[in-house]
Chains A and B, each alone.
Chain A
């Protein structure tokens, strides 16, 4: 199975900050990497697919980068509604493993 390791597991930031979350795959997944946002009590929401493609309706302050084994999600200017937990997921093969999540909290 492909293991996905996210870092950090949590971070504190202020509105307006630039935030980067990283995700490392245990083997080459080319660009089969997706990012989701989940708010408490809600279903996850797809932000980025194929490592860097922005899902329709997602604000442009979210961006994704990387290929192979190392990936990143960047929020260029953190907004109050962005405080949530973020997950990466590989869809290169099954099982479609998720990272353990990164909780973004208000500083």
Chain B
């Protein structure tokens, strides 16, 4: 059974850093691109970042470019999102997702809440 389990969310002050993790199981992790998608409270979905299966290709939303870094460790079947210089507008539930056909997000974790506030 496929599983994606996010962790690392919490309360952080503006300007602070946080590292999210997404532990994958039940599929061959290294053969799939992975993405982070976020949802601010009461708002819609926002794509954040995507990384290829090898980790050699990454893409970012303009809103996080230069502040967030997507990483993966295929030996540990884990996806990461390193978030620096956090702002109040980064407050959201962060979901990791497995990319499937046509780069759709075919399987999602349960999400982890990040709150940026003083």
Cα separation A70 to B70 with both chains bound (whole Å): 32
Among B60, B104, B110, the residue within 8 A (CB) of A91 is B104
A23 close to chain B: CB less than 8 A: no
Give chain B's interface residue range (CB within 8 Å of chain A). 20 to 34
Among A38, A45, A50, A95, the residue within 8 A (CB) of B47 is A95
Cα separation A53 to B101 with both chains bound (whole Å): 10
Q: How many residues of chain A are within 8 Å of chain B by beta carbon? A: 25
Cα separation A53 to B61 with both chains bound (whole Å): 27
Residues of A within 8 A of B62 (CB): 1, 95
Interface string of B39-69 (1 = CB under 8 A from A): 0000011110010000000011110000000
Residues of B within 8 A of A97 (CB): 47
Among B47, B60, B108, B109, the residue within 8 A (CB) of A98 is B47
Min CB distance, B67 to chain A, in Å?
Answer: 15
Among A34, A94, A101, the residue within 8 A (CB) of B50 is A94
Q: Do A49 and B108 touch (CB < 8 A)?
A: no
Residues of A within 8 A of B103 (CB): 32, 91, 96
Residues of A within 8 A of B35 (CB): 96
Cα separation A101 to B45 with both chains bound (whole Å): 8
Residues of B within 8 A of A65 (CB): none
Cα separation A36 to B108 with both chains bound (whole Å): 11
Cα separation A46 to B45 with both chains bound (whole Å): 13
Cα separation A32 to B45 with both chains bound (whole Å): 17
Cα separation A63 to B60 with both chains bound (whole Å): 30
Among B50, B102, B108, the residue within 8 A (CB) of A32 is B102
User: Apart from A44-B37, A97-B47, what 20 extra A-B contacts exist at CB < 8 Å?
Assistant: A32-B102, A36-B45, A36-B105, A43-B95, A43-B108, A44-B95, A45-B108, A46-B105, A49-B101, A50-B102, A87-B45, A89-B105, A91-B104, A96-B35, A96-B47, A98-B44, A98-B46, A100-B44, A101-B44, A101-B45
Which residues of B pack against A, CB within 8 Å?
Answer: 35, 37, 44-47, 50, 59-62, 95, 100-111
What are 25 residue pairs bridging A and B, where the CB atoms are less than 8 Å apart in the complex? A32-B103, A34-B102, A34-B104, A36-B45, A43-B109, A44-B45, A44-B108, A45-B108, A49-B102, A50-B101, A50-B102, A53-B102, A55-B106, A89-B45, A89-B47, A89-B105, A91-B102, A91-B104, A94-B59, A94-B60, A95-B59, A95-B62, A98-B46, A100-B44, A101-B45
